Structure 1
Amino acid sequence: MKPPPRWKQWILSLIAAYPLVLAFQAFVVPQVADWPIWAKAALFPLIILTLMMYVVMPAVTRLFRRWLFRPAA
Structure 2
Amino acid sequence: MIIATKNGFLVAAELIREEAGYWLLQPRDQKTPVRVNKQDNNKRAFTHMGDALRWAGDPELAKQFDARARS
| Shorter-normalised TM range | under 0.3
Task: Return the structure number with greater relative CO, CA threshold 8 A, min gap 6.
Answer: 1
Question: Greater strand share, 1 or 2?
Answer: 2
Question: Greater helix share, 1 or 2?
Answer: 1
Structure having the higher Rg = 1
If the length of structure 2 is used for normalisation, what is the TM-score? 0.25
